């Protein structure tokens, strides 16, 4: 029973996404398959070179890089949202899969959880 | 150095600033829990320091601590018995406390 | 009380939140909607939910003084929420 966690909000403005990431890691800890989908303003999570020590926060870019180690199944990003916010394939970190994150795609998961 | 002149810590003995850490501080914190640090401990501590530098988080739970150690150092060290023997109590908490990392979020 | 349905949509946002309309857009008449937290405030805005099967979490209704006596909304407790989740073929938490 795979869970899709959808992050559709930009990082650093609230704790919503961090809590969702924590939940994804917890699912993985108990060998429950979990994937993350970044869509809408959530694609800003994937920008390279984030240095949020300037605002006294930890880097979600670096946090996210632990996902494969903890056993997160897939990191997915909605291609239309990338286009909207000016991100190309080259701008994305390794291990991210570009997909069409529409309702059909989301509906294929038995459990879906929107962050925040 | 003794417990009284360590850098600022929270109420559970975790350093407030992971980068205020030193080997000497690790030894003091370990002694509070009656742990004498051996090379086996240091290997895990080095791993955790490096992990934190790369990912800016502590492994959130014991299970994920074990998983991360297994990924990096293999099955022989990435198992709960080995880590429990080195870092008694809640291994993720004990090890992170000594390594100067923040408290793992999902450990009770 | 609990009729058959396909997807359980758990909605905790007020009707002015973008996710509220996304949820209604993705749910069909085969689905059930469970309102929690601020989601229960949708019950004060008439007819926004259409003819969907709607449940709401009792503790959130009570906390916010929302009355469901006049409506077809099934007020349930946490036990009921667990039962609904287990019954669903799919669960989406908005």
Q: Which residue of B has its CA nearest to A63?
A: B55
Tokens representing A89?
Answer: 């394939």
Domains and CATH numbers, chain B: 39-108 (1.10.10.370)
Cβ distance A110 to C91 less than 8 Å, yes or no, reads: yes
Give CA–CA dist B94/C4, Å, rounded. 49
Every domain of chain C and the residues it spans: 7-93
pLDDT in tens, A61-84: 999 999 999 999 999 999 999 999
pLDDT in tens, A96-105: 999 999 988 9
Bridge partner list, A6: A37, A114
For the beta sheet containing A34-38, the strands, ordered from the edge strand earlier in sequence to the opposite edge, are: A96-99, A75-78, A34-38, A3-7, A111-114, C90-93, C7-11, C32-35, C53-57, C74-76
Tokens representing A36?
Answer: 């993350």
Give CA–CA dist A43/A39, Å, rounded. 6
pLDDT in tens, B40-96: 999 999 999 999 999 999 999 999 999 999 999 999 999 999 999 999 999 999 999
Number of domains in chain A: 1
What domain range is A44 assigned to?
A: 6-48+58-111
> Which of the other chains make 3 or more beta carbon contacts under 8 angstroms with chain A?
B, C
Residues of C in contact with A110 (CB under 8 A): 89-91
Residue A73 lies in a domain: yes
Give the pLDDT band of residue C79 (cuts 50, 70, 90): very high
Residue A1 lies in a domain: no
* CATH code of domain C7-93: 3.40.1260.10
């Amino acid at each position: 029973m795979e869970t899709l966690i959808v992050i559709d909000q930009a990082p650093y403005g609230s704790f919503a996404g961090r809590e969702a990431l924590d939940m994804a890691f917890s699912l993985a800890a108990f060998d429950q398959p979990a994937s993350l989908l970044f869509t809408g303003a959530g694609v800003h999570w994937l920008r390279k070179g984030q240095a949020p020590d300037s605002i006294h926060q930890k880097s979600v870019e670096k946090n996210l890089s632990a996902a494969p180690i903890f056993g997160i199944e897939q990191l997915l990003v909605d291609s239309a949202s990338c286009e909207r916010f000016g991100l190309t394939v080259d701008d994305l970190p390794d291990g991210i899969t570009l997909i069409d994150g529409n309702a059909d795609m989301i509906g294929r998961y038995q459990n879906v959880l929107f962050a925040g | 150095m003794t417990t009284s002149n360590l850098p600022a810590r929270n109420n559970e003995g975790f350093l407030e600033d992971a980068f205020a850490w030193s080997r000497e501080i690790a030894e003091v914190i370990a002694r509070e829990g009656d742990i004498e640090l051996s090379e086996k401990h240091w290997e895990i501590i080095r791993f955790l320091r490096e992990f934190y530098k790369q990912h800016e988080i502590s492994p959130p739970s014991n299970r994920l601590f074990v998983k991360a150690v297994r990924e990096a150092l293999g099955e022989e060290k990435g198992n709960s018995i080995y880590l429990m023997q080195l870092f008694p109590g809640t291994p993720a908490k004990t090890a992170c406390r000594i390594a100067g990392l923040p408290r793992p979020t999902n450990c009770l | 009380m609990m009729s058959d349905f396909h997807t359980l949509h758990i909605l905790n946002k007020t009707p002015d939140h973008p996710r509220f309309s996304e949820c209604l857009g993705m749910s069909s008449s085969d689905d059930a909607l469970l309102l929690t937290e601020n989601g229960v405030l949708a019950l004060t805005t008439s007819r926004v939910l259409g003819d969907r099967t709607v449940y709401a979490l009792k503790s959130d209704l009570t906390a916010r003084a929302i009355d469901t006596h006049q409506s077809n909304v099934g007020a349930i407790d946490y036990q009921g929420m667990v039962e609904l989740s287990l019954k669903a073929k799919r669960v989406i938490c908005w």
